[in-house]
Structure 1
Amino acid sequence: MPLALPARTAHRHVDVDGVRIFYRESLPEIPDAPVLLLLHGFPSASHQYRRLIDVLGARYRLIAPDYPGFGHSDVPEPASTGGTFDYTFDGLADVMEGFVQRLGLDRFVMYVFDFGAPVGFRLALRHPEWIAGLIVQNGNAYEEGLSREAAEFISLRPHMEGAEKAVRDLLTLPSTRAQYEGGTRDPEMIAPDGWTLDQHFLDLPGRTRPQIDLAFDYISNVERYPEWQEWLREHAPPALIVWGRDDVFFPEPGAHAYLRDLPDAELHVFDTGHFALEDGLREIAPLIAAFLDGVAAGSHGA
Structure 2
Amino acid sequence: MRMTVPTPLGDLAVRCHGTPGAPALLLLHANPGDGRDYDAVLPALADRRRTFVVDWPGYGDSTAPHPHLVTPEGLVEAAERVLDALADEHGVREIAVLGNSVGGYVACRLAEGRHSPKVTALVLVDPAGFTRHTALTRWFCREVMGRPERARRLVVPLARAYLGRLGTPSARATFARVRRLPDDEVRLAVHCALWRGLTDPGFGMADPAVLDVPILLLWGRRDPVVPALLDGRRARGALPVRTSSVVLPTAHEPYNERPDLFLSHVLPFLREPRAVGAGRSRG
Give the TM-score normalised by structure 1.
0.77
Q: Which residue of 1 aligns with 2:10?
A: 19
Q: Which residue of 1 aligns with 2:218?
A: 242
Matched, 1:109 2:96: yes
Matched, 1:188 2:167: yes
Contact 1:168 1:212 in 2 (8 A): no
Matched residue count: 268
Q: Distance in 2 between matches of 1:179 and 1:114?
A: 11
Percent identity over paired residues:
21
Shift of 1:161: 9.2
Match of 1:64 among 34, 49, 53: 53
SS of structure 1 residue aligned to 2:53: strand
Q: Which residue of 1 aligns with 2:150?
A: 166
Could you report, residue by residue, the CA deviation over 1:68-121 in whole angstroms, capped at 9, with x for unpaired residues? Answer: 11121012124x5xxxxx211122222221111011143211112111123223
Judging changes above 3 Å, is the alpha-carbon distance between structure 1 residues 293 and 109 closer, same or farther for their aligned structure 2 residues? Answer: same
Q: Distance in 2 between matches of 1:259 and 1:162?
A: 26
Match of 2:236 among 259, 281, 289: 259
Could you report, residue by residue, the CA deviation over 1:6-28 in whole angstroms, capped at 9, with x for unpaired residues? Answer: xxxx3443334583211222123
Q: Which runs of 5+ in 1 are unaligned?
A: 1-9, 81-85
Shift of 1:56: 2.0
* Higher mean C-alpha deviation, range 202-211 or range 245-254: 202-211
SS of structure 2 residue aligned to 1:219: coil
Contact 2:4 2:12 in 1 (8 A): yes
Matched, 1:198 2:178: yes
Residue 33 of structure 1 aligns with an amino acid whose one-letter code is A
* Higher mean C-alpha deviation, range 40-49 or range 286-295: 286-295
Contact 1:26 1:57 in 2 (8 A): yes
Give the TM-score normalised by structure 2.
0.82
SS of structure 2 residue aligned to 1:175: helix
Matched, 1:218 2:198: yes
Could you report, residue by residue, the CA deviation over 1:231-288 in whole angstroms, capped at 9, with x for unpaired residues? Answer: x322331111111111001111333433333222222111110111122211121321
Q: Which runs of 5+ in 2 are unaligned?
A: 278-283
Q: Which residue of 2 aligns with 1:154?
A: 138
Larger Rg: 1
Shift of 1:166: 3.4
Contact 1:244 1:273 in 2 (8 A): yes
